[in-house]
Each structure stands twice: as C-alpha cells, then as structure tokens.
Structure 1
Amino acid sequence: MDLENHTRNVWIVLGTLSGLGMIVATIQTWAWFSKSGKEIIDLPTLGKFLLHFLGILSTVIFLVMAGVSVWWLIFFKKQYDSTFESKTSSQQNIFKILFIVSFILKTVDIIHLILRQTTIDIFFIDWERSKTGDSNTVSAWRTYFVANEFNEIQTFRRIHVPFHLLSVLFFLKVINLENIALADTDIILFPSSSFTANCTMEYNSVFRIGTAFLVLLGTAIIQYLFYIIFYQRLIGDKIINFIDLCSVSNISIIILDQIYHGYYIHGRSPHGISDVNIKDIIMNLERESRSMSGTRGLQANSIEQIFIMKINKTFRAQYDLLFRQYYDYIGPRRKRKDIERRTDILFQSYQNLNRFLCAYIDRSLPTYQYFIRNRYLLEKIFNYEFQTSLNSGLSGNMDNLLFIDNEKIFTKILFYGEENSLFIWNTITFLFIDFISSNYVLAAIITFLLNLIAVGLRNSFGRRNLSKKTLVPRELLI
C-alpha cells in the first residue's frame, strides 16, 4: 500500500482537471459575455467567471474523490489490517475537507442555476385572430393554460429524486450492500446471527463513500435509461407534449435568457385558428395526421418548431420599450387601487408586444428581419452561436439569426436541461452527510429535504417571474 505515491497522484489529477476546468469556465464566461452584449470586462463578468469556475471545481473535486473512494474499495479493502485506519488517518481528513468544499461550492452553483432560470424574459405570443374583427373578443384561456403547463414543467426531471433515494436505501440497507464497506477484507452481505452477535467491526468511511457512490450512480443510470427507452416512448415525453400543446393552442413562446440571446418555440397552428368546438379540433388533428393540412414548422413544409435566437440591439430595444410601458405605469403607483385603469394598461401593453412579435416572426417588419440556419459543428461543441452577418437586400446586414434547435438546448432554462448538475448536487449531498455521520438513512433524508427546498425555491421564483414577464396574473398560475 503506497499511500504517499497514491496521494501525490490524486493531487496531480485534481490539479490537472482544475486547470482544464478553468479553461472551460473561461469559454462559458466568454459566451455569456457575448450574449449579454457587454463591451468591457467589468466586475459582473469576473463574478460570472468565478461562479462558473467554482461550479466546475466542485464537480472536479467530487469526481476525483468518488473515483478515489471506489479505488480504495476495490484495491485497498483487500489489504485491510489493524493498522489501516492509523495509516490512512491524514488521507481521510483530507477527504472530509474536500467533500465539505465540494458540497458548499456545488450548493452555490445550484443557487446560481436557480437565479439564472428564474430571471429569464419570456412571452407567450397569441396567434389567434378574432372572428368578429374585435381583438377584445379573443379568449385568454389558451394563453393561461399554456402558461400553467409551462409552470408545471419548470422543475420536471427525468430522475425522480424520492424514488431514487428509496431505491438506494433498498440496495444499501435491505440487500445489505452497506456491508461491503465493513472494515474487513471479506464481503458478507447476509451474515449469520452468530457472526452478527460477535461482530465488532466498524465501517470505513471511505469504503462507505465508494459503495454508496456506485449504488447511487447505478440506480440513477437505470432510472434514466428506463425514462429514455420506455417512459418517454410509450407513455409520453413532457417536453414534446408541451410543444404539441403550443401548436394546438396556437401559442408561440419567445424566451430571452440573455440580453441578445434566447429561444423561440413556434406554436402557430397550421389550421389558422384553435378557439373552436371539440368537433373542429378533432377534425383538424385528423387532417393533420393525414398530411391534409400545413406543417407545424416555422418554415414552409418543415417540422422544426424549436429555435435558438440571436438578436440585435434594435430588436432588444423595441422589446424592452414595449414591455416597459406597463411597468412604468404600475411602478410608481403600486399603492393605487385603480384596478380598471391598471388592467387597461396591462391589456394594451400585452397587445402591443404581441402584435410586434407576431409581425417579427411573420417578417412583416423590414427593420427586423431574421435568417434561419443550422448550427455548425463547432457551435454545437462549444454551445455558442458565432456572429455571422448575412447580406440582406432589405436592410443591409442581417444579424437577427434563428438556429434550428434539434438538441433541445432550450431546456437549459428548466431543471430538465440541468439534470447532470442537479444529480451531482444530490449525490454530493448524500455522500457528504454519510461521510460525517456514517448513516445512509440520515443522508437520504437530508438529501431529500435539501432537494425539496431547491424545488420549492425554483417553483416560487419561477412562478413569480413567469407572471411578471408574460403579463399573466399570478393568481391564474396554479
């Protein structure tokens, strides 16, 4: 057991991966810098870099420590003797410090994730036209229904945390895989009663980390594959179902996660209207299934409905101007109880912004033209869309771009698209609590409670942001 050489190798791996993490954080910050329209490196830019790097560093520490614990479990357990604990006491103290650091940094990263997702700009574009020519007669219930469905999927994940933790406890406590972590060279999952009565062995904390990590990872992979292979195909894909709902409701969604960057979900109905009776809805869907109507895609004869947006200053300024008209009115008058006047301003602001965005998507505004293309390979690798100005005969260089989002990158604004970060945080929490308490049940309970708090915060802030940015009254978001 060459612990000195082993420890040195661990520090080398940790330092190397941290250096690579700094490069990745630099690339992420550069992408954010460009999308935010900044021209100089200021304090927020440095803060964003620090947050990106700390999030990556927490993952690096976690992966290295998890790998080391599995290594100990596989190779050092066979060499366990009465002097093992005294020989490895300094290494186990380092373990504890690194797990504390990793847990704190990852928790900060999750808070940063929640803040990012709950400060986006979002608006539901209603394509429905009044049958009487009076825009006041267009029903708002379709918009409210889509808004509530969007509110529901904000915290949806493919890995169901309570079920995942129960599965882990089943394997560790019922199947007795916890006994693998006993401070002994043998592995006895189901010891006899006499062995149990005479057993004085304790658990090794590093062995416990390795055992729990393998069980956590294995059960998560099984659940993830079950969702991808079976649930998503046979029962339903919540993301695809939501996009279908947008098309049936004749509602598109524009999402701006940065000043000059965002996403567009095209939900315009190929039938022109959706506020019809149940017979017409069924007949419209039947005609669509038989290819007797237009396609749902933004472009003619296409099915692409999800796009990444890159917008220019002119578009953003107009968007902010129309949106600000409502909040400029209610801002200094919050204590006024003139409900009728406030709702009139709300309705007028909504209509103005809705008309502008409808005209923009329809390319009816010569000043606000856009071009659609696929992303290049490098753009997919770096998850960054390069600025390319295309010559437009209408208004010079066209720098409003829409990129076809086949990979569903837009889910980054939901928990669904940040599954890896959330899973790592849940795993770090479980392992950290067990490392300091040697109690898998307590680790599962605290992990569940912290995850419940994160979901609650995401739901609360997300619901408030959704109401504020879409001009949908918060009381109507269930």
Structure 2
Amino acid sequence: MDIASQTLNVYVAVGVLSGLGFIIALIRTWKWFLRSGKEIIDLGTIGIFTFHLIGIIGTVILLVTAGASVWWLLIIKKQYENSSYGDISSFENLLKFFLIISFVLKTIDIIHLIVRQTRIEIFFMDWERTKIDYHKISVWRTNFVANEFNEIQTYRRINVTLKLFFVLFFLKVVNLESLSCVNNEFTLSTSPTNCTEYNPIFRTGIGFITLSGTSIIQYLAFTLFYQRIIADKIINFIDLCSVSNISVFILDQYYHGYYIHGRSPHGKTDVNIKEIIMNLHREENQTIGTRGLQDNSDEQIFIMKINRNFRKQYELLFRNYYSYIGPRKTREDTERYTDMLLQSYQNLNGFLCAFIDHSLASYKYFIRNRYFLEKIFNYEFQARASTELDGITDNILYPDNEKTFTKTLFYGEESSLFIWNIVTFLFIDALASNYILATVITYILNSIFTGIRKSFGRRNLSRKTLIPRNFLI
C-alpha cells in the first residue's frame, strides 16, 4: 500500500470539492446580497461569504475524512497485515487533523446559524375585530401562538438523545466497535479483551457509518410515519394560527421574508367553547370559506419579496413601536407608557393587516407560483412593476409549498445540525479513542447550543412582538 498516494488523493478530493464549495458559497452570498438591499460589496458581504465558505469547507473536510475512513474499513481492512504496512501514523494524524479543522469550522457555522435565526424580524398579526373597543381584545390568543412558536424554534426531525442512545447501543452493546480492531477480521467480538488495539481510522469509519445509519433511519421514521400519523408540529402550528385568528409576519432579510396566513374564515375566534366546536364542524363539512389567503385556496404559507417603500414604512412604524419597549424599565409613568405602547402596536398591526387585505393603495402585492429554476436555486427572480415609474419592484408573495420558512427554525436546518453532531462525535473520539466520552460530550454540546438558541430566540421573540419574556415559557 502506498500511503503517499492515498494522502495525495485525500488532498485532491478536498481541493476539488472545496472549489465546488467556493462556487456554492458565491451563489448563496449573491442571493443574500440581492435580498439584503445592498448596493455595493462591503465588509458585511465579505463576512457573509466567509461564513458560508466556512460552513461548506467544514462539511467537505468531514465528508472526505469519513469517506477515506470508510474506504479503509471496508476495503483496506481485508488486506490488513502488519508486514505489508509501513508507518501509517502520518495518514492517521492527517485525518485526525482534518476532524479537528472540520469541528472548528462547523461550530463556527452553527454559531452563525444561531445568530441569523435569532435576529429575524417577527410580528404576530391579530385579525380579531369583533369588539367595539379594540383595547379590550384579548391578548391571550397572541401569547398562546407566540409560546407555540417559541417551542418549535429548536424542534428537529432527529432526536439527538435517542440517536446517541442507539449509537452507543450498537457500538458498545452490539460491539460494532470491535470491527475497528487492528486485524483483518470482520467478526463481532463478544469480549473486549479479544481486541488489544484499535485503529483510529477504522474507529472513524465505523463511527460515521453508525451515526449516519441511525440518523437516516430516524429521519425516515419521522418523515414517513411520525409526522404523517402521529403529529406534525409545523402543520399543527399553522392550524393553531387559524384557530387563533393570528397571522405570522417574518422578515429574515431586508427584502425577504415569510408570511403565515392565520386569518380565520369565521371572522372571530375569541368565542366560547361551543362556537369553537361549531366553527370547526363547519370547516370539516365545507360549509364555510377556506383558510387560504386567496379565495377557494388552502395555501397559508408564503415567501415574501417586499420592495423598498414597504420596508421603509415597516421600519418607521417599528421604530416608533420599539422606542417604547426599549426603555420601559426607566419609565415612571406606567399608564402613559402602556397607552403609547398599545398605540404603537395597533399602528403596526393595522398596517400589516391592511397590507394583506389590499387596503393600501401605495403598498400593493400580487401572488404567483415560483418557477422551476426559482425552486432549484431557492431564489425568486422578481419582475419589475409595469405601473411603476421609479423602477421600484412589486411586493410579491409566492406559495411556500416546500415550507422553506422553516429555515428560520432548527427544523429547516437539520442537515447542518446533523453534520455538526457527527463531526463533534468523531472529533472527540479521534482525540480520546472513547465512544462513551464522545457520546457524552456530543450530547452536552448539543444541549448547550440548543439552550443558547432557545434563550436568544426567546429574547428576540419578546423584543419584536411586544410579549413580555416571562409570558414565553
């Protein structure tokens, strides 16, 4: 075996895939640049490109390292004889170094992901108009929807605790770890004493296969069985919005966001239990209108492309709104403060509701489906308005059948989190040669980052929606 040629192959694979990753990072940055309203390439743009590139390179290095390790486990192990092997420590050290680099890069990528998700603009639009006095409309429906949104912020398809439990079960109880012994046998040893030495490359290979296998099985079980038969929290949240008469307005970038239409077809939802049951019965029997934004439509989730005029008006209202919630702790006139705060909330809520209702002549929008290429690139090519003289584009809503709005949640970033969990496990095992320690530290780090995402997400939700943080549980 030529260790030098295998080392060269690894470097070539990393180089080629990194080149492709560079192009993907450019495309992602280009989309961000157009959605962010930038006119020139500045430090912020370069920073976004750097973060995208870091995440992609981290994934590339992991895949090459795991691929080389699996190759050694499945192919080279059969030919493993001490007499035919020279000094392979340099190759082992190279793969270990790659795992360290990949872990650092993917951790930076996850931090960037958390920062992106916890800085979104979000507002809960209340459609309830049954009260003569708007000041007496109940806030509990909004609080309930906000709590459900707060809960699904870190919801994932793959349960990390369950996954790590099965990984440890297969590696230590079924004893797949014995396949990483320094020999050419593919038999499971029932006694740990039968294996006196483990090969770190084989350990990485069997660890990657076990982690990937358990994750894929869990993902398929969740997608094909759990969310279809038992519960789909994302769909349940959208149903809750309709039952509560609350819409969700999200801006994840300057000119880009999502809209979840929760306006009830019954007109009011702040009613007693009898009316709620009767309303649901009417919907079930199709004796009332649909929940969709358009007539005779069930489409409730939309991708938004907004124009400069709308964004400026939104920012103006939000600044007035935020100027009262920012310094609330220092205000002594509580009654006056809460009155102004309520008025600011009503102004912003009224503007967004009027916009969706087509009641604002200056802020029109239209709805169209995304083209095939737009779905492939996950980017909407916005056409200029024929009625505009200043070149300002229209506001456009695109039905979000793929539920891309979950990109603002952990749910929509499962692949990044999945890769980070894998590289954490393999990184710790490469340093300590201990699957149990790798499992424990992977669980701890995942819990810490999930806790950080919950904390900052809850803080952002409170600041942007006027809901006190102690009401978000």
Alignment CA distance shift 1:30-1:86 (3 Å): same
Alignment CA distance shift 1:448-1:85 (3 Å): farther
In structure 1, C-alpha distance between the alignment counterparts of 2:288 and 2:321, rounded to whole Å: 38
Aligned residue number for residue 69 of structure 1: 69
Aligned residue number for residue 222 of structure 2: 227
1:9 matched to 2:9? The reply is yes
Alignment CA distance shift 1:394-1:353 (3 Å): farther
In structure 1, C-alpha distance between the alignment counterparts of 2:140 and 2:405, rounded to whole Å: 25
For the Cα contact (< 8 Å) 1:369–1:398, is it kept in 2?
no
Most deviating of 133-142 and 166-175: 133-142
For the Cα contact (< 8 Å) 1:119–1:465, is it kept in 2?
yes
In structure 2, C-alpha distance between the alignment counterparts of 1:26 and 1:222, rounded to whole Å: 33
For the Cα contact (< 8 Å) 1:58–1:102, is it kept in 2?
yes
Aligned residue number for residue 413 of structure 2: 418
- SS of residue in 2 equivalent to 1:52: helix
- SS of residue in 2 equivalent to 1:315: helix
Aligned residue number for residue 179 of structure 2: 180
Give the C-alpha shift of residue 71 in structure 1: 0.2
In structure 1, C-alpha distance between the alignment counterparts of 2:325 and 2:275, rounded to whole Å: 41
Give the C-alpha shift of residue 222 in structure 1: 0.8
Aligned residue number for residue 112 of structure 1: 112
Q: What amino acid maps onto 1:155 in structure 2?
A: T
- SS of residue in 1 equivalent to 2:386: strand
- SS of residue in 1 equivalent to 2:268: coil
- SS of residue in 2 equivalent to 1:375: coil
Deviations 1:203-249 (A, max 9, x none): 00010000011010111111111111111111110000000000000
In structure 2, C-alpha distance between the alignment counterparts of 1:287 and 1:393, rounded to whole Å: 43
Aligned residue number for residue 101 of structure 2: 101
In structure 2, C-alpha distance between the alignment counterparts of 1:200 and 1:85, rounded to whole Å: 19
Aligned residue number for residue 31 of structure 2: 31
In structure 1, C-alpha distance between the alignment counterparts of 2:296 and 2:328, rounded to whole Å: 49
Deviations 1:8-37 (A, max 9, x none): 222111111100000000010011111110
Pick from 414, 420, 431 the counterpart of residue 426 of structure 2. Answer: 431
- SS of residue in 2 equivalent to 1:391: coil
Work out the percentage of aligned pairs sharing the same amino acid: 64
1:127 matched to 2:122? The reply is no
Count of residue correspondences: 473
Alignment CA distance shift 1:395-1:50 (3 Å): closer
In structure 1, C-alpha distance between the alignment counterparts of 2:112 and 2:314, rounded to whole Å: 26
In structure 1, C-alpha distance between the alignment counterparts of 2:203 and 2:106, rounded to whole Å: 21
Deviations 1:165-184 (A, max 9, x none): 00000000000111000011
Q: What amino acid maps onto 2:439 in structure 1?
A: A
Give the C-alpha shift of residue 84 in structure 1: 6.6
Structure 2 unaligned spans of 5+:
none
Alignment CA distance shift 1:205-1:286 (3 Å): same
RMSD of the alignment, in Å? 1.7
Deviations 1:370-407 (A, max 9, x none): 01011111111111111212335999965101011000
Q: What amino acid maps onto 1:384 in structure 2?
A: Y
Most deviating of 335-344 and 258-267: 335-344
For the Cα contact (< 8 Å) 2:325–2:466, is it kept in 1?
no
Alignment CA distance shift 1:143-1:228 (3 Å): same
Aligned residue number for residue 82 of structure 2: 82
Q: What amino acid maps onto 2:433 in structure 1?
A: S
Aligned residue number for residue 371 of structure 2: 376
Deviations 1:400-421 (A, max 9, x none): 0101100000000000000000
In structure 2, C-alpha distance between the alignment counterparts of 1:222 and 1:410, rounded to whole Å: 25
In structure 2, C-alpha distance between the alignment counterparts of 1:329 and 1:190, rounded to whole Å: 67
For the Cα contact (< 8 Å) 1:260–1:316, is it kept in 2?
yes
Aligned residue number for residue 160 of structure 2: 161
Alignment CA distance shift 1:405-1:320 (3 Å): same
- SS of residue in 2 equivalent to 1:203: coil
Alignment CA distance shift 1:437-1:139 (3 Å): same
Aligned residue number for residue 471 of structure 1: 466
1:47 matched to 2:47? The reply is yes
1:277-356 equivalences in 2 (<5 Å): 277-329=272-324, 331=326, 334-356=329-351
Deviations 1:273-304 (A, max 9, x none): 11111111111111101111000000111111
Alignment CA distance shift 1:332-1:267 (3 Å): closer
In structure 1, C-alpha distance between the alignment counterparts of 2:243 and 2:467, rounded to whole Å: 20
Give the C-alpha shift of residue 329 in structure 1: 3.9
Aligned residue number for residue 149 of structure 2: 150
Q: What amino acid maps onto 1:302 in structure 2?
A: S
- SS of residue in 2 equivalent to 1:279: helix
Most deviating of 111-120 and 81-90: 81-90
For the Cα contact (< 8 Å) 1:130–1:137, is it kept in 2?
no
Give the C-alpha shift of residue 82 in structure 1: 2.3
Give the C-alpha shift of residue 447 in structure 1: 0.2
1:217 matched to 2:212? The reply is yes
Give the C-alpha shift of residue 333 in structure 1: 6.6
Most deviating of 147-156 and 397-406: 397-406
Give the C-alpha shift of residue 340 in structure 1: 2.2
For the Cα contact (< 8 Å) 2:321–2:348, is it kept in 1?
no
In structure 2, C-alpha distance between the alignment counterparts of 1:298 and 1:393, rounded to whole Å: 25
- SS of residue in 2 equivalent to 1:87: coil
Alignment CA distance shift 1:401-1:3 (3 Å): same
Q: What amino acid maps onto 1:139 in structure 2?
A: S
TM-score between both structures, scaled by the size of structure 2: 0.97
- SS of residue in 1 equivalent to 2:82: coil
For the Cα contact (< 8 Å) 2:325–2:341, is it kept in 1?
no
Alignment CA distance shift 1:362-1:84 (3 Å): farther
Aligned residue number for residue 246 of structure 1: 241
Most deviating of 421-430 and 3-12: 3-12
1:258 matched to 2:257? The reply is no
